[in-house]
Amino acid sequence: MSIEIRNISKRFGNFVALDDINLDIPTGELVALLGPSGCGKTTLLRIIAGMETADQGDILFSGAEATHLHARDRNVGFVFQHYALFRHMTVFENVAFGLRVKPRKERPSDADIRRRVMELLGLVQLDWLADRYPSQLSGGQRQRIALARALAVEPKVLLLDEPFGALDTKVRKELRRWLRRLHDEMHISSVFVTHDQEEALEVADRVVVMNHGKIEQIGSPDEVYSSPASPFVYQFLGNVNVFHSRVHGGFAEVERSDQPEKATAFVRPHDIDIAHATFANGMPAKVLHVHPIGPVVRVELQHEQEIVEVELSRERHEALQLAVGQQVWFRPRQMRVFGADEQPRSTPEKQPFLF
Amino acid sequence: MKSNRATQEPGWVRALLLATGLGFLFFFLGLPLVAVFVEALAQGWPAYVEALKDSETRSAIWLTVLIALAVLPFNILFGVAAAWAIAKFDFRGKSLLITLIDLPFAVSPVVAGLIFILLFGAQGYFGPWLAANDVKIIFAVPGMILATLFITFPFIARELIPLMQSQGKDEEEAAVSLGASGWQMFWRVTLPNIKWGLLYGVILANARAMGEFGAVSVVSGHIRGETNTLPLHVEILYNEYNAVGAFAAASILALLALVTLVAKTVVEWRMKKETDMLNTVLAPEKT
Amino acid sequence: MKTNRVLPGFGLALGYTLVYLSLLILLPLGGMILKASDLGWSQIIDIALGERSLAAFRVTFTASLLAATVNGFFGLIVAWILVRYPFPGKRFVDALVDLPFALPTAVAGITLATIYAGNGWLGRFIEPLGFKVAYTPVGIVVALTFVTLPFVVRTLQPVIEDIEPEVEEAAATLGASRWQTFSRIVFPAIFPALLTGFALAFARAIGEFGSVIFIAGNIPLVSEIVPLLIISKLEQYDVLGATALAVVMLAISFVMLLGINGLQWWAANRHRNNEPLEVAAGKAKGGAA
């Protein structure tokens, strides 16, 4: 089932949670709503589920108007951030709930319910926990039961609110891969909310980056990472060095504008080269710190008053043999410049350079 | 509570505080509680049993139970409804509503009785109409039920509102998103979650309903065998210098109080166990 | 109000709540105020300031204040030992603290009167010392102390439990003595709760009737409390007089209730900054971006 979101706005008192949101989610896609807390992503998810009513705008499911459809009738599977498992029911009864509350005519027989629930518990690999209570499960198990419960009613859309937020790193990574596989097997549309960029980039087909109730960018994980549409997206997705024109006396840009303006350049730490001798467009700096972190080595340079963060591969670091206090030269391989209006002033093809 | 030397009082201070606190409780709580039973049995066991066999004492016991049974269903319904509206929804005037629910706690029981006399008594607003239609409310059981309803009004709501607020709306929303109707959601999800809190409120409300004195006294008219609840009967016997009779009746109420305390402690322990279970550190994933 | 709520039953629940509240609480109280307005304010004040009424108010307030103070002091100690010190039978003692809530006031009244009477368990030791409790205003204080005993303990207990041990440890590592830690760190933290418990006890004490009348002696001008005066006016068919006193009592309870709500609000919010929540939240969000 496809979802179309048309001009959705929502306020809570004076706080604008969503400001004229438009978004299309085609059938079968796994979409991440990514943004900092308070950006409106959860509100948008709850509006899609029918838990919250938008002040303006429409929601269409498979092209049909669904704005005023009750949550009960939307056929949406919702996985809550804190799972919202029914604490006084066993795992089995939790999963069976959606089947048991169906009107008598549509309700499956007890045997069918049993078969269906055990099938779902098998799918989430927790059939051995059927008689436990939610309080006896680990976080990752609760998460999977919540998912099985949502899937029991055969929803057309699966909505997940911060699905991995409350789990530790190792479990989180496992569950990510598992969710991806599950989504591919179930052939449904899924939307999940996250504030973790790594999670969004790894799992989703498409990432919707949100901030202050607006959509900043929609694109594939690669697109939003390598060509961010705004300074916000640049800073939210990964580490970045920010160079202000004031500090460096302006940029020599490939595309010159007539009016000189204030601009900001963004450079990812792994897009910076370091050398011992000066080279074309290189800038001088002093090595402040060298931290080997797992597969990479993070180097902090001091250039004039600025601290510049550089990430080198271990091989490159071996070759350079940097020492603290050393004078070196650095040069961005790739960067992006934004004007004061937050619009890009450069493209990946036409690289500006600093001097 | 774990404590260590850095955050502990010196030994003599601890001893002094323990002695003062426990001494205070002994003189003000322990001694009166023991005294009730000792006074009731002052003339020996047969006299005690005889006092309880008294027909007026028995009818007082029945009236006390009857009033409690009449009052509790209304307050249960009110408590659940008020807590549902207040805990799960936002609306204007919510804090005013909560304050109004608390109001009977602050009103003197005597005033609580008086207001019903002013409404339904001989000189009250509805008095003439009631007299013309031969309906008795004041100096009769209906008035005593009304006064008890007023006095016990906040108990259940006060327990349920914070409980339901702390449980949030997630489970109910999950039930609705899985297709449950309103009643299915209430009976299968909400009620099982609040059952201990509800029971706790019922225990407190019941203790107060059975033990209420001031409000009921004002509207009862003290008609022996008819409008005497057990606490009122205690007063009558005491004023007649029938100490054994008064304390025998009082001992039943004291037993009720002890049962209340035990039930309350058990329910508290159940509720604590449930919250502890929900807050336990999650075991590491087994895969 | 928002339309189209997801959870059902709001209209039904709020409707029932409001109807029940109106019929049982607001209508009767409103009826009384209406009755009192027949009298007019000046007459109400005249009745309230009559010699006997004034004395009754003085007795009621003084005794309630003393009882709340006694409970404030001993309640703090009891709450402290119940939270901090291990001792045998602690669970039993903890449960027993609620006895005054569970024991009917009439039972408390006759029992206390019997204990403190001249031939009673305590009276026989106290009276030879020239200290009479039963049938004097002191008896009122004793009865009110019993009835309101749980308030201070029960409001303080959770607050003392919530004090992080680290805070006291920090004070100790900074060189504070145990008394300095208590008076400068612990006491300020629990003070609002102490005050709330005190106010709750005081509010309850003012209206208390059942436990007091047996031990007070009920001598007009000396040991007669306001609720009893209301009843005796009622028994003399002076309904208006009773109503006047009741309205004054109601006004006092309402003020107390608002005061207690204010106290609790203050206790919960005193360490927050004064910004409205939404502004603070908005700033936090801006900061995260």
pLDDT surpasses 80 at B187:
yes
Same domain, B96 and B147: yes
Number of CB pairs, chain A paired with chain C, less than 8 A apart:
33
At A12 the three-state DSSP class reads strand
Total length of chain B = 287
pLDDT for position A38: 87
Residue A141: which H helix or E strand, with range?
A: helix A139-152
Structure tokens that stand for C53 in this block: 């009424």
pLDDT for position C279: 40
Same domain, B249 and B217: yes
pLDDT for position A186: 82
Phi, psi of B120 (to 5 degrees): -115, -5
> How far is residue C286 CA from its own chain's centroid?
44
A contacts of C281 (beta carbons < 8 Å)? 15, 38
Do A36 and C278 count as a contact with CB atoms less than 8 A apart? no
C-alpha to C-alpha distance for B225 and B232, rounded to whole angstroms:
11
We report the CATH number of the domain holding residue C229 as: 1.10.3720.10
Mean pLDDT of all residues in B260-272: 93
Residue B35, domain extent:
11-40
Candidate from A15, A211, A212 with C-beta closest to C278: A15
- B270 found inside a domain: yes
Task: Please tell me the distance in Å from C6's CA to the nearest CA on chain A.
Answer: 6
Residue of B nearest to A100 (CA): B180
| ipTM of the complex model | 0.90
Residue of B nearest to A174 (CA): B287
* Residue among C260, A84, C24, C199 nearest B79 (CA): C24
Same domain, B105 and B19: no
Do B14 and C85 count as a contact with CB atoms less than 8 A apart? yes
Do A236 and C285 count as a contact with CB atoms less than 8 A apart? no
Same domain, B187 and B207: yes
Burial class from Cβ neighbours inside 10 Å (0-12, 13-18, 19+) for residue C244 reads buried
State how far the alpha carbon of C144 is from the alpha carbons of B258, C99, C195, in Å.
20, 14, 17
Chain C: touching chains (3 or more CB pairs < 8 Å) = A, B
pLDDT for position B276: 76
Taking the model in full, what pTM does it have? 0.85
- B48 found inside a domain: yes
Do C231 and B99 count as a contact with CB atoms less than 8 A apart? no
Same domain, B105 and B75: yes
Same domain, B156 and B27: no
Do C6 and A236 count as a contact with CB atoms less than 8 A apart? no
pLDDT for position A322: 85
Intervals of chain A under pLDDT 50: 246-258, 348-352, 354-355
Mean pLDDT of all residues in B60-65: 94
A contacts of C9 (beta carbons < 8 Å)? none
Paired with C204 in beta bridges are none
DSSP A87-130: TTS-HHHHHHHHHHTS-TTTPPPHHHHHHHHHHHHHHTT-GGGT
Instruction: Let me know: does C240 contact C37? Beta carbons within 8 Å.
Output: no
Instruction: Let me know: does C14 contact B91? Beta carbons within 8 Å.
Output: yes
At A350 the three-state DSSP class reads coil
Same domain, B243 and B219: yes
Do A51 and B177 count as a contact with CB atoms less than 8 A apart? yes
Do C4 and A53 count as a contact with CB atoms less than 8 A apart? yes
- C252 found inside a domain: yes
Same domain, B21 and B67: no
Q: Which tens digits make up the pLDDT trace of C39-51? A: 888 888 888 888 9
Between positions 50 and 69 of A, the ones with CB within 8 A of C are: 50-53, 68
B contacts of A153 (beta carbons < 8 Å)? 178-179
Residue C248 contacts by C-beta under 8 Å, 6 or more apart in sequence? Answer: C44, C48
Instruction: Let me know: does C63 contact C137? Beta carbons within 8 Å.
Output: yes
Does residue A211 sit at the C interface (CB-CB below 8 Å)? yes
Do A51 and C289 count as a contact with CB atoms less than 8 A apart? no
- C46 found inside a domain: yes
Instruction: Let me know: does C228 contact C208? Beta carbons within 8 Å.
Output: no
- The residue assigned the tokens 């297709």 is B179
Burial class from Cβ neighbours inside 10 Å (0-12, 13-18, 19+) for residue C182 reads middle
C-alpha to C-alpha distance for C153 and C68, rounded to whole angstroms:
12
Mean pLDDT of all residues in B103-120: 92
Same domain, B31 and B106: no
pLDDT for position C275: 44
- C111 found inside a domain: yes
C-alpha to C-alpha distance for B33 and B255, rounded to whole angstroms:
10
Residue C66, domain extent:
39-288
Do B231 and C210 count as a contact with CB atoms less than 8 A apart? yes
- C34 found inside a domain: no
Q: For chain C, list the strands marked E by DSSP.
A: none
Given strand A263-267, what is the order of strands in its sheet?
A241-244, A263-267, A336-339
C-alpha to C-alpha distance for A69 and A50, rounded to whole angstroms:
7
Candidate from C7, C250, C254 with C-beta closest to B172: C7
Q: Which tens digits make up the pLDDT trace of B10-53? A: 889 999 999 999 999 999 999 999 999 999 998 989 999 998 88
C contacts of A12 (beta carbons < 8 Å)? 278
C-alpha to C-alpha distance for A277 and A261, rounded to whole angstroms:
32
C contacts of B116 (beta carbons < 8 Å)? 28
- C51 found inside a domain: yes
- B2 found inside a domain: no
Do C289 and A53 count as a contact with CB atoms less than 8 A apart? no
- B213 found inside a domain: yes
DSSP C77-95: HHHHHHHH---TTHHHHHH
Residue B2 contacts by C-beta under 8 Å, 6 or more apart in sequence? Answer: C165
pLDDT for position B281: 47
Question: For chain C, how many structural domains are there in total?
Answer: 1
Structure tokens that stand for A298 in this block: 């993070």
DSSP A22-75: EEEE-TT-EEEEE--TTSSHHHHHHHHHTSS--SEEEEEETTEE-TT--GGGS-
pLDDT for position C272: 61
pLDDT for position A347: 52
DSSP C265-288: HHHHHTTS-SS-HHHHHHHHHHHH
Instruction: Let me know: does A273 contact A331? Beta carbons within 8 Å.
Output: yes
- C200 found inside a domain: yes
Question: For chain B, how many structural domains are there in total?
Answer: 2
Does residue A109 sit at the C interface (CB-CB below 8 Å)? no
Does residue A174 sit at the B interface (CB-CB below 8 Å)? yes
At A180 the three-state DSSP class reads helix
- C190 found inside a domain: yes
Residue of A nearest to B168 (CA): A84
User: What residue type is C279 in one-letter code?
Assistant: V
Task: Please tell me the distance in Å from A109's CA to the nearest CA on chain B.
Answer: 17
- B167 found inside a domain: yes
Do A80 and B173 count as a contact with CB atoms less than 8 A apart? yes
Residue of A nearest to B173 (CA): A51
Do A84 and B280 count as a contact with CB atoms less than 8 A apart? no
A contacts of C282 (beta carbons < 8 Å)? 15, 38
Intervals of chain C under pLDDT 70: 1-4, 271-289
Residue of C nearest to A213 (CA): C285
- C217 found inside a domain: yes
pLDDT for position B283: 43
pLDDT for position A346: 60
pLDDT surpasses 90 at B207:
yes
Same domain, B160 and B27: no
Do B282 and A171 count as a contact with CB atoms less than 8 A apart? no
Tell me how crowded residue B281 is: count the other CB atoms within 10 A of its CB. Answer: 7
* Residue among B160, B180, B266, B193 nearest A133 (CA): B193
Same domain, B36 and B70: no
Do B118 and C243 count as a contact with CB atoms less than 8 A apart? yes
- B200 found inside a domain: yes
DSSP chain B: ----GGG---HHHHHHHHHHHHHHHIIIIIHHHHHHHHHHTTT-HHHHHHHHH-HHHHHHHHHHHHHHHHHHHHHHHHHHHHHHHHHH---TTHHHHHHHHHHHHHS-HHHHHHHHHHHHSTTSSSHHHHHHTT---TTSHHHHHHHHHHHHTHHHHHHHHHHHHHH-SHHHHHHHHTT--HHHHIIIIIHHHHHHHHHHHHHHHHHHHHH--HHHHHHH---TTTS--HHHHHHHHHHTT-HHHHHHHHHHHHHHHHHHHHHHHHHHHHHHHHHHHHHSPPPPP--
Instruction: Let me know: does B171 contact A86? Beta carbons within 8 Å.
Output: yes
DSSP A275-344: ESS--TT-EEEEEEEEEEETTEEEEEEEETTEEEEEEEEHHHHHHH---TT-EEEEEESS-EEEETTS-B
- B185 found inside a domain: yes
C-alpha to C-alpha distance for C252 and C227, rounded to whole angstroms:
13
Candidate from B17, B92, B256 with C-beta closest to C77: B17
Given strand A272-275, what is the order of strands in its sheet?
A272-275, A327-332, A283-293, A296-303, A306-313
Does residue A236 sit at the C interface (CB-CB below 8 Å)? yes
> How far is residue C47 CA from its own chain's centroid?
26
Same domain, B20 and B96: no
pLDDT for position A169: 82
pLDDT for position A260: 52
Q: Which of the residues B16, B115, B148, B152 would you substitute to probe the C interface, choosing the one with the greatest number of C C-beta atoms within 10 Å?
A: B115
Structure tokens that stand for B165 in this block: 């607020």
Chain A: touching chains (3 or more CB pairs < 8 Å) = B, C
We report the CATH number of the domain holding residue B240 as: 1.10.3720.10
Does residue C145 sit at the B interface (CB-CB below 8 Å)? yes
Residue B195 contacts by C-beta under 8 Å, 6 or more apart in sequence? Answer: none
DSSP label of C222: T
Mean pLDDT of all residues in B216-231: 87
